[in-house]
Amino acid sequence: MQDLIGKGMSMPLGQNKNLIATVILVLFLMVFVIITSYFLALYLRNSRAASAQEKLEEIRNSLTVLDIEMYDNYYGENDTNVVDPPAWTVGADTPVLINMRNHGQLNHNWAIVRQGETVPVPFAEGQDSSILYYQAGMVYGDNETTFTFTAPEPGVYQVICTVEGHYPSMQGKLVVQ
């Protein structure tokens, strides 16, 4: 055995036991640190995921969703927008998600007129757009799309389709509380 260890490398039996115990302790501590690190990383990842889920849920709860149905020349389920416009209600200064479904063949949009503004007849999209608070993009015939905006201050706002010739037959009300 002395030849295998080499000259001057031998230790008394008691020191060998101490060295073996120290090596075992160091190995145990290394395994403990690795396992602890793994579970700590797993915990942190899960807590971040839970935090992200909570944030997403908070956003969903603060978001108002409006489903806007469009037909060839009116909003909603009937063609009486001029005398009985559909109304949508949202909270002031809240994020709003608009799901717009165009069931007709004509292109449409959904635009909020600023309070105190009068909509000219006919509405000329390029010339009269300064009266608009918000204008969702175009929804092409037989398509659907989604837009978002932040609701204005409380009040009742007129909503129109800005495609030339669609107002006044295509209008509604946005009630902001």
**What global pTM score does this model have?**
0.67
pLDDT in tens, 120-140: 998 888 788 899 999 998 999
Buried b / exposed e across 32-62, counting CB within 10 Å, b at 16+? eeeeeeeeeeeeeeeeeeeeeeeeeeeeeee
Residue in 113, 164, 118 with CA at minimum distance from that of residue 138: 164
Q: Is 130 helix (H, G, I), strand (E, B) or coil?
A: helix
pLDDT digits (tens, 9 = 90+) for 4-14: 455 555 556 56
Domains of the chain, residue spans? 2-61, 63-176
Is 172's pLDDT higher than 80? yes
Over residues 102-122, the mean pLDDT reads: 95
Domain spanning 63-176: which superfamily?
Answer: Cupredoxins -  blue copper proteins (2.60.40.420)
